């Protein structure tokens, strides 16, 4: 039952937070700040790499960073792998669109001075620092030539960008015209840059609406992407990065896809480099899968847990209201009542450092239990690309000057 849930005193996956292989150069005294992130999870069978697979083949993945920098490092994870994964070579280049990279931008990443690295099962690794002039809001291509890979993979199934798998070693190829395309990320979890003392990151923790379902593949128009564009175009927030830690189907309390928000909060939020702000936008899947109003009080307890952890770490945390879902698979009176209870608490409790009212921005004024038609991706649960633009537009940028 929902009422039996209890807030953990220590997050369940806390032991996994110190899994990094000690091969990173750490002699820099400068400040690392995350500029791109993706929350790792166990890849479901339906989201595994298509043939020819990753073992002894090449994978090129495209990500868009937020802030730029002149030194960077890449994070990779084998957290959910059941055996080691070998990376024979890892390259970084500016994407030229599709599977192509811009000439003259390709660089080899090293790990403890070596081009290859093997990540044990359950561990993560960070590359050595690479001197590299990377402009803000740049689409980067990360190309990995694999050796052996585990049966179970760590990844992020909902990349909203196309990745490319090429037979054999094509790690330095300028393009991959015969590659197999797939819309998933594997192993990559973050890019950090050396930044000045005023640089800082905002971490967005959420579900599929933050992960970008309803956005346009390869267009980088999830709402956190749009927020990053606004922040970096505003003088007062031009050094604030955005780290998207949304997982499609994720829940806060139990069930759902990937580790729950309670389980992953330390890993995906507190352990990110340079984090100063948190946007918490999650809870709809808990409500939608519940059969009791107790879910509302359980979510409020969880929100308080996150708020206390954020404040204990001198972080500001902003609560976002849950969007309407009338007409969707989650639509019933009990669920709508739970949503309104939770949203009312977010708006009126004054426990979050600020409120971002996505519900008010996207709901139908004549029927507040449903999305406005122009913002509906057609499943009555997920917003569309226009909605994601509006969601970013209503966020007060002054929240990120504190």
Query: With pLDDT > 70 as the criterion, what percentage of the chain qualifies?
Result: 93
Residue 71 CA to residue 52 CA, distance in Å, equals 34
Residue 88, both tokens? 């024979």
Kind and range of the H or E run holding 311? helix 294-312
Residue 336 CA to residue 333 CA, distance in Å, equals 5
- DSSP-derived secondary structure letter, 239: T
- Where is average pLDDT lowest: 21-35, 85-99, 166-180, 198-212? 21-35
Average pLDDT over residues 17-44: 71
Residue 317 scores a pLDDT above 50: yes
- Where is average pLDDT lowest: 16-25, 77-86, 128-137, 270-279? 16-25
- The whole-model pTM stands at 0.93
Question: What CATH number was assigned to the domain covering residues 2-12+197-400?
Answer: 3.40.50.1110
Tens digits of residue pLDDT in 222-237: 999 999 999 999 999 9
pLDDT recorded at residue 18 = 36
Residue 194 CA to residue 130 CA, distance in Å, equals 10
- DSSP-derived secondary structure letter, 96: E
Cα distances (angstroms) measured from residue 173 to each of 51, 166, 341: 20, 10, 54
Residue 9 scores a pLDDT above 90: no
Q: What average pLDDT is seen over the chain?
A: 93
pLDDT recorded at residue 23 = 42
Residue 6 scores a pLDDT above 70: no
pLDDT recorded at residue 39 = 98
pLDDT recorded at residue 10 = 28
Residue 164, both tokens? 């490319």
Mark residue 352 as left, alpha or beta (left: phi above 0; alpha: psi -120 to 50; beta: remaining): beta
Q: For residue 204, report the phi and psi dihedrals to the nearest 5 degrees.
A: -105, 115
Average pLDDT over residues 10-24: 36
The distance between the two most distant Cα atoms of the chain, rounded to a whole number of Å, is 62
Average pLDDT over residues 147-154: 98
pLDDT band (50, 70, 90) for residue 29: low
> Residue 57 half-sphere exposure, CB side, CA atoms within 13 Å?
17
Query: With pLDDT > 90 as the criterion, what percentage of the chain qualifies?
Result: 93
pLDDT band (50, 70, 90) for residue 64: very high
Residue 77, both tokens? 């994870």
Close Cβ partners of 28 (under 8 Å, ≥ 6 residues apart): 71, 129, 194
pLDDT recorded at residue 82 = 95
Which ranges in 146-292 belong to alpha helices (H)?
208-211, 223-232, 261-265, 284-288
Q: Please say whether the beta carbons of 184 and 155 come within 8 A.
A: yes
CB atoms < 10 A from the CB of 355, how many?
A: 19
Residue 165 scores a pLDDT above 90: yes
Helices vs strands, H then E, count in the chain: 8, 23
pLDDT band (50, 70, 90) for residue 30: confident
Tens digits of residue pLDDT in 330-354: 999 999 999 999 999 999 999 999 9
Residue 14 scores a pLDDT above 90: no
Residue 311 scores a pLDDT above 50: yes
pLDDT recorded at residue 20 = 45
Residue 355, both tokens? 């409120």
- Where is average pLDDT lowest: 15-29, 307-321, 374-388? 15-29
Q: Give the torsion sign (CA, 33, 63, 217, 219).
A: positive
pLDDT recorded at residue 15 = 32
């Amino acid at each position: 039952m929902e009422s039996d849930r209890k807030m953990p005193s220590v997050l369940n996956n806390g032991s996994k937070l110190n899994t990094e292989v000690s091969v990173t150069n750490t002699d820099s005294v400068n400040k690392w700040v995350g500029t791109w992130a993706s929350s790792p999870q166990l890849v479901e069978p339906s989201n595994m790499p298509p043939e020819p697979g990753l073992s002894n083949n090449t994978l090129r993945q495209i990500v868009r960073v937020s802030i730029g920098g002149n030194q960077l490092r890449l994070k990779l994870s084998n957290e959910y792998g059941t055996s080691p994964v070998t990376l024979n070579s890892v390259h970084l280049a500016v994407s030229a669109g599709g599977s192509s990279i811009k000439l003259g931008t390709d660089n080899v990443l090293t790990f403890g001075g070596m081009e290859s690295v093997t990540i044990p099962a359950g561990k993560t690794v960070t590359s050595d620092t690479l001197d590299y002039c990377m402009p803000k809001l740049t689409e980067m291509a990360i190309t990995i030539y694999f050796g052996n890979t585990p049966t179970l993979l760590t990844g992020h199934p909902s990349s909203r960008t196309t990745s490319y798998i090429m037979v054999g070693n094509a790690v330095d190829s300028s393009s991959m015209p015969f590659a197999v395309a797939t819309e998933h990320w594997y192993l990559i979890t973050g890019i950090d840059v050396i930044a000045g003392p005023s640089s800082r990151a905002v971490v967005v923790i959420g579900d599929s609406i933050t992960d970008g379902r309803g956005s346009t593949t390869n267009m980088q128009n999830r709402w956190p992407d749009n927020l990053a564009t606004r922040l970096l175009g505003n003088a007062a927030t031009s050094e604030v990065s955005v780290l998207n830690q949304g997982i499609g189907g994720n829940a806060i309390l139990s069930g759902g896809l990937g580790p729950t928000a309670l389980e992953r909060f330390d890993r995906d939020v507190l352990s990110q480099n340079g984090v100063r702000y948190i946007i918490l936008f999650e809870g709809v899947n808990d409500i939608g899968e519940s059969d009791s109003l107790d879910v509302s009080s359980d979510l409020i307890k969880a929100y308080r847990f996150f708020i206390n952890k954020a404040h204990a770490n001198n972080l500001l945390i902003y609560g976002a209201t849950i969007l309407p879902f009338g007409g969707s698979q989650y639509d019933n009176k009990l669920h709508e009542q739970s949503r309104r209870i939770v949203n009312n608490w977010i708006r009126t409790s004054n426990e979050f450092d600020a409120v971002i009212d996505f519900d008010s921005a996207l709901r139908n004024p004549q029927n507040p239990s449903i999305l406005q038609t122009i913002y509906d991706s057609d499943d009555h649960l997920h917003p569309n690309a226009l909605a994601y633009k509006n969601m970013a537009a209503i966020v007060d940028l002054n929240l990120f000057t504190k």
